[in-house]
């Protein structure tokens, strides 16, 4: 059952049981049992690195990820890889393991279904009801750690972007500083109208002039 | 003035005058004056190819692009490169030039500001006024060659996608067949309201129930 948790040809993390029952001839093990130098030699100046998948939430808070390896003694060792807050895709984390030397892990930050990351900034789409956009109001904006209330001013256009300063990813150099969160308004329109509601929209349509949409693109 | 028309370190196309006044030691010329085999040998099994930039409109209709080269005789030759309709990014077009042999050009289809291409399908965003989405109506959809009228049914949601069958890119294998055009509705909201219009939206807000937005996400 643990076999579903593989990324490409490399096991990323799992229980030791999964690991021993699984693919013990993965790239990583072959590397350890003598091919290390050859592997590193394929790209001059580069060391063999293992990919370690982390979620955006892990990258936000930082995390400790277990990683199991078989040492030259033939025994399994659990390595704890410390992912620093704000880790960026491709960052390399090193771990010194007594008896095994230095291991390098390259963080692969998985794309998030909700947040898009650009540098240390995050982008999120926020559904907002039509009448809230037109008349103003408040909406909840998801953040990496919870929710925030965002004030929507009257006359907010579909697609408008609000910057929530300091609500982005921690900066790895200084995790007390953070990037920004950009919230993009996606207007949600009514799906079902009563006769009265339809009549109101019909009157709005009759009252429209060039001025009504002035400046909108 | 012709120097602006360069893509990376390679001249793509321009007048002969531009060319002779410009970078006559480009990769392409060096290749021709004796380095051809070495250049091709860098990647076994591959021939030296020149990049040729085309617009999406060129790719749609097909085009003939001039390309000027200096032959071993020291004279300039204008080559006409025939871009087939529907050409895809990375497709290779070959031209036989008497006295110079076969030249290979790799089409680089420039991203279009309006249309996104995926395979032979095109995607375009269509701004639609609020009242047209709610009550239905018609909008113009840009296509690669002009405009089409799209009927918007009443109750169209923001972000809804309409498929316009056969309005995409020609299929290079058979240019009489074409991919589809996907038109994505982007609702445009009023920017300025009269007191009466605002009063109508306020009544709409008061009349809203869970049913009003049922099923909307």
Look at A187 and B190 and tell me if their CB atoms are within 8 Å.
no
How would residue A17 be classed by pLDDT, with cut points 50, 70 and 90? very low
Q: Which of A17-21, A46-50, B37-41, B74-78 has the highest mean pLDDT?
A: B74-78
* A186 contact residues in B (CB cutoff 8 A): 158-159
Q: Is the pLDDT at A153 greater than 50, yes or no?
A: yes
Per-residue pLDDT, averaged over A143-159, amounts to 93
CA atoms within 13 A on the CB side of A4: 1
- Establish if B199 touches chain A: CB-CB under 8 angstroms: no
B-chain residues near A216 (CB < 8 A): 127, 188-191
Q: Which residue of A has its CA nearest to B153?
A: A191
CATH of the structural domain B2-109, one choice from 2.60.15.10, 1.10.3720.10, 2.60.260.20, 3.40.50.2300: 2.60.260.20
> What integer pLDDT is reported at residue A123 of this predicted model?
97
Whether A212 contacts B191, CB under 8 Å = yes
Question: In terms of CATH architecture, what is A116-213?
Answer: Sandwich (2.60)
Interface residue B213 vs chain A (CB under 8 A): yes
Mean pLDDT of chain B: 80
Quick check: do B2-109 and B116-211 share a fold? Answer: yes
Q: Does A131 contact B216 at a Cβ distance shorter than 8 Å?
A: no
Q: Is A195 on the interface with B (CB under 8 A)?
A: no
Domain ranges of chain A: 2-109, 116-213
Average confidence (pLDDT) over B197-201: 98
Nearest CA in chain B to A155: B191
Q: What is the per-residue pLDDT for A27?
A: 41
State which residue of chain A sits closest to B159, comparing Cα positions. Answer: A186
Instruction: Determine the pLDDT at residue B13.
Output: 30
Which of B212, B214, B215, B217 is the best substitution to test chain A (most A C-beta atoms within 10 A)?
B212
Cβ atoms within 10 A of the Cβ of A104, count? 14
> What pLDDT score was predicted for residue A3?
36
Cα A166 to Cα A62, A111, A115, A146: the distances in Å are 17, 21, 15, 14
* B149 and chain A in contact, CB less than 8 A: no
pLDDT at residue number B201 = 98
Q: Does pLDDT of B48 surpass 80?
A: no
Higher-pLDDT residue of A130, A7: A130
Min distance A211 CA to chain B CA atoms (Å) = 7
Is B133 an 8 Å CB contact of chain A? yes
Is A199 an 8 Å CB contact of chain B? no
d(CA B173, CA A165): 51
Token pair recorded at residue A22: 């699984």
- For residues A111, A117, A120 and A121, what is the CA-based torsion angle, rounded to 10 degrees? -150
Given a cut of 90, is residue A50 above it in pLDDT? no
Q: How many cross-chain Cβ pairs, A to B, lie less than 8 Å apart?
A: 124
Q: Which runs of consecutive H residues, i.e. helices, occur in A123-192?
A: 130-135
Q: Which ipTM did the prediction report?
A: 0.72
Distance from CA of B153 to the nearest CA of A (A): 12
Q: Which residues of B touch A188 (CB under 8 A)?
A: 157-158, 213, 216-217
Closest chain B residue to A157, measured at CA: B189
Helix, strand and coil in chain B, % to nearest 5: 25, 40, 35
Residue B16 scores a pLDDT above 50: no
Least confident segment among A66-75, B98-107, B160-169, B181-190: A66-75
Instruction: Pick A207's closest partner by Cβ from B196, B202, B207.
Output: B196
Is the CB of residue B182 less than 8 Å from the CB of residue B169? no
* A105 pLDDT above the threshold of 60: yes
Q: Is A210 on the interface with B (CB under 8 A)?
A: no
Q: How far apart are alpha carbons A204 and A209 in whole angstroms?
A: 10
B160 shares contact with chain A (CB less than 8 Å): no
Could you tell me the pLDDT band of residue A98, with boundaries at 50, 70 and 90?
confident
Among the partner-chain residues A158, A191, A212, the one whose CB lies closest to the CB of B192 is A212
pLDDT confidence bin for B6, thresholds 50/70/90: very low
Q: Output the pLDDT for position B40.
A: 42
Q: Is B57 on the interface with A (CB under 8 A)?
A: no
pLDDT tens, position by position, B94-132: 988 877 788 889 999 999 999 999 999 999 999 999 999
Q: What are phi and psi of A93, to 5 degrees?
A: -115, 130
Quick: pLDDT tens for B54-94. 999 999 999 998 888 877 778 788 888 999 999 999 999 99
Contact B134 A187 (CB under 8 A): no
pLDDT at A144: 77
Task: Tell whether A130 lies on the interface with B, counting CB pairs under 8 A.
Answer: yes
Distances in whole angstroms, Cα of residue B134 to Cα of each of A214, B16, B89, B188: 19, 56, 39, 12
Confidence of residue A122 (pLDDT cuts 50, 70, 90): very high
Homologous superfamily (CATH) for B116-211:
Urease metallochaperone UreE, N-terminal domain (2.60.260.20)
Bridge partners of residue A78, in order along the sequence = A68
B189: nearest CB among A158, A191, A207: A158
pLDDT digits (tens, 9 = 90+) for A164-204: 999 999 998 898 899 999 999 999 999 999 999 999 999 99
Instruction: Determine the average pLDDT of the residues in A81-92.
Output: 93
Q: Which two tokens stand for residue A180?
A: 């920004």
Give the pLDDT confidence score for residue A179 in this predicted structure.
95
pLDDT of residue B90: 93
pLDDT of A79: 87
pLDDT score of B11 more than 50:
no
pLDDT tens figures, A18-39: 333 333 333 444 344 333 334 4
Q: What is the dihedral of CA B99, B101, B107, B108, to 10 degrees?
A: -70
Lowest mean pLDDT segment, chosen from A26-35, A91-100, A154-163, B145-154 = A26-35
How would residue A103 be classed by pLDDT, with cut points 50, 70 and 90? confident
Please answer yes or no on whether A189 and B217 come within 8 Å at the CB atom: no
Residue B33 has pLDDT above 60, yes or no: no
Convert the pLDDT of each residue in B70-80 to its tens digit: 777 787 888 88
Mean pLDDT of A150-174: 95
pLDDT for position A2: 35
């Amino acid at each position: 059952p643990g076999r579903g948790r593989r990324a490409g040809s490399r096991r990323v993390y799992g229980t030791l049981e999964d690991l021993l029952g699984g693919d013990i001839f993965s790239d990583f093990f072959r590397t350890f049992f003598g091919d290390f130098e050859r592997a590193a030699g394929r790209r001059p100046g580069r060391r063999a690195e293992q990919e370690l998948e982390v979620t955006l939430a892990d990258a936000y808070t930082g995390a400790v990820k277990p990683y199991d390896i078989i040492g030259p003694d033939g025994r399994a060792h659990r390595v704890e890889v410390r992912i620093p807050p704000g880790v960026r895709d491709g960052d390399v984390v090193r771990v010194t393991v007594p008896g095994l030397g230095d291991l390098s892990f390259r963080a692969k930050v998985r794309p998030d279904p909700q947040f898009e990351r650009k540098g240390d900034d995050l982008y999120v789409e926020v559904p907002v009801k039509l009448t809230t956009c037109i008349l103003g109001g408040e909406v909840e904006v998801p953040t990496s750690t919870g929710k925030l209330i965002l004030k929507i001013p009257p006359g907010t256009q579909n697609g408008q972007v609000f910057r929530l300063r300091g609500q982005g990813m921690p900066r790895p150099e200084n995790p007390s500083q953070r990037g920004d969160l950009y919230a993009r308004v996606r207007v949600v329109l009514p799906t079902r109208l009563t006769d009265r509601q339809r009549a109101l929209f019909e009157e709005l349509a009759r009252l429209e002039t060039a001025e009504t949409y002035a400046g909108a693109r």
